[in-house]
Amino acid sequence: MQKRLLITLLSTLCLTACSSVSIGGSFGVPLAKHKTNKIFSEYNQQNKAQSNKLLANFDKWEGTRYKLGGSTKHGIDCSGFTQAMLKDVYNTQLPRTTSEQKYIGKQISKNDLKVGDLVFFRKNHHVGIYMGNGNFIHSSTKRGVEMNTLDSGYYAKVFTQARRVL
């Protein structure tokens, strides 16, 4: 009983660390790196150059540890990650925090997602980038920069909105 209470308390602390905190890791379904190319290439034939650049940038960041307020490869949070990726790949400036990013662009339905769209979770306190085929990339508190699926049990429950900024 005490162990369960401790685990619940620690989980709650991780989930409420800040408005730009990711909760990924153990709640999501990380994909093996070798599957990433197949998933991505099946989805986006229209904009292959930018899609490949997005994937290449993700590969450079994958595994970077989570750091609240971080914006470098020494540690990055979710909104810093989306800001860096969209700047590097699409030359698009995003605000620094999730609380600002949730208003940028046009809100779209989950069914209309395209590669590069922002996906928000936990009442807009966490953000990632849609990669196609139901997958998104983000910086999670447990595993750092990783890929997960929107339809995994946890992320399906806490999905809040999607926004098109490109």
The set of catalytic residues is 78, 126, 138
Cα gap 45→127, rounded to integer Å: 25
Give the start-end residues of each E strand in the chain. 71-72, 75-76, 106-108, 118-121, 126-132, 135-140, 144-149, 159-164
Nearest alpha carbon to residue 40 among 28, 27, 24, 56: 56
Amino acid at 137: I
Cα gap 161→159, rounded to integer Å: 6
18-39 as b/e, with b when 16 or more CB fall inside 10 Å? bbbbbbbbebbeebeeeebeeb
> SS3 for 44?
coil
